[in-house]
Amino acid sequence: MNLNELTIKQANEGLKKKEFSSVELTQVCLDNIEKTDEKLKAFITVTKDEALAKAKKVDDAENFENPLSGIPVGIKDIFCTKDIKTTAASKILENYTPPYSSTAVKNLGDDAVIVGKTNMDEFACGSSTETSYFGQTKNPWDLERVPGGSSGGSTASVSADQCIYALGTDTGGSIRQPASLTGVVGLKPTYGRVSRYGVIAMASSLDQVGPVTKTVEDAAIVLKQIASLDKKDSTIVNKDVPDYVNEINKDIKGLKIGIPKEYFIEGIDPEVEKVVKQAIDQLKDLGAEIVDVSLPHTKYGLPVYYIIMPSELSSNLARYDGIRYGSVEPAENLLDQYLKTKATGFGDEVRRRIMVGTYSLSAGYYDAYYLKAQKVRTLIKKDFENVFKQVDCLVTPTTPTPAFKLGEKIEDPITMYLNDVFTVTANIAGLPGVSLPCGMAKPKDGEKELPVGLQIIGKQFDEGTILRVGHQYQQATDWHTKKPNVD
């Protein structure tokens, strides 16, 4: 096995036992980036020299107590990283280098080896990584297909073993959906679990930070490190961070797993449905009790999300006016300068959302759209509260289809948005969700088999249970060990 194919756990053990050095491990990842990234475009910035210098420092210190020390990581280009360019994949931030690092990045520890900043949809607006100003990321399993989005660079880089793990953000599915499409593990923690300080805001009542890893166990390791109290993020909830790695080793006998009927709808690819149902049978074999449940307001998830998200986005993006933040397009007067700066600095999808958001927040339409969406949001939350009186967690497909072709949906926003149908509800209700590979399926329009993701949604702050179910599943199956062949 090549060093870059290791998991965090394996790499940490190898470093401790001095089987290899962090410099060697980092070099193998960097070599693989050099070999494959022209095709994949998973990175916007590669920090080769800084990574090797850090790895050397870690080797010299010989302290691998922090399980992430000396381990190469890719950081979505939405996290501020001190002295490393941070673009949010937008032209408007093309030349922005932050003077500080986000709390989540800092929490990885001083000895984390950042190999680069990963590609994404512009300001995290998208489900395919095609809206990046810096070129689209390709799916390592089939270069003609999208890796999902918006954290598509993070998931493609982990899937192709360019780094050992990555960080992403999830506002409506942006960690889980691309994890599903590229065959890796993606965890969105509970809203309020991980600090968002220093993460470029998309929609502040939905955004959450999480890991992209090769195994559920690695996701547990990273979550333990990045979850912390942070006075700089007022939405952080003051709750102990459990030892997730301990929790996941308990078996799942007698655990009640709900299967919401609204997530097996018309339009779901029959192969995806078959694979997910097999995974559910497997969970039953492991001793879980499978319970049919209903979340009746699920059908309003997408409309609610696509009103609340653009509303918050439009107000968050107001700061990129070329004066406070962002590159500037000079003009005769201030208004023209704003107009020119925003018209040239933002891409089509971001501008579309700013317009939708501004409209739904405007005086005449606020009650009919934004306020109404907030009320329905409460109903969706209550659906979950009700079923969680009955079951310990829920299992669903992560996406209705495997990876789709590049260019297939980009001109048709509604079809693109439908991809998020199973993921947005966890953000709306602030719940934790994880996606893990659970099989392969042939797409309707192709011959190559593609990964399928299983989503597990949990109660607030109960990441322990969903990680436990995922880990026990991975102990009994080997879907997570399948690798793409990037050639």
Interatomic CA distance for residues 462 and 243, integer angstroms: 12
Whether 174 is catalytic: yes
Closest to ligand GLN by CB, 130 or 462: 130
By Cβ distance, which residue is nearest to ligand GLN?
Answer: 174
Residue of 127, 174, 195, 314 with catalytic role: 174
Taking the complex as a whole, the smallest distance from the CB of residue 150 to ligand GLN amounts, in Å, to: 4
Cα Rg for the chain, rounded, in angstroms?
21
Output phi, psi for 249, to 5 deg: -85, -5
Closest to ligand GLN by CB, 26 or 174: 174
Residue of 41, 76, 224, 459 with catalytic role: 76
Closest to ligand GLN by CB, 22 or 127: 127
CB half-sphere exposure, 166, CA atoms < 13 A: 38
Closest to ligand GLN by CB, 171 or 316: 171
Sheet strands side by side (includes 43-46): 43-46, 113-118, 72-76, 165-170, 208-213, 185-188, 433-441, 450-458, 393-397, 256-260, 289-293
Closest to ligand GLN by CB, 296 or 303: 303
Q: Can you give the binding site for ligand GLN, defined by CB under 6 A?
A: 124-127, 150, 170-174, 202, 309, 420
Taking the complex as a whole, the smallest distance from the CB of residue 416 to ligand GLN amounts, in Å, to: 7
Whether 150 is catalytic: yes
Taking the complex as a whole, the smallest distance from the CB of residue 123 to ligand GLN amounts, in Å, to: 8
Helix (H, G, I), strand (E, B) or coil at 157: helix
Taking the complex as a whole, the smallest distance from the CB of residue 31 to ligand GLN amounts, in Å, to: 31
Interatomic CA distance for residues 29 and 46, integer angstroms: 11
Q: In angstroms, what CA-CA distances link 126 with 132, 231, 396, 399?
A: 9, 30, 21, 14
Interatomic CA distance for residues 408 and 130, integer angstroms: 11
Taking the complex as a whole, the smallest distance from the CB of residue 210 to ligand GLN amounts, in Å, to: 11
Beta-carbon contacts of 187 under 8 Å, excluding residues fewer than 6 positions away, are: 175, 176, 210, 211, 213, 219, 223, 432, 433, 434, 463, 467
The catalytic residues are 76, 150, 174
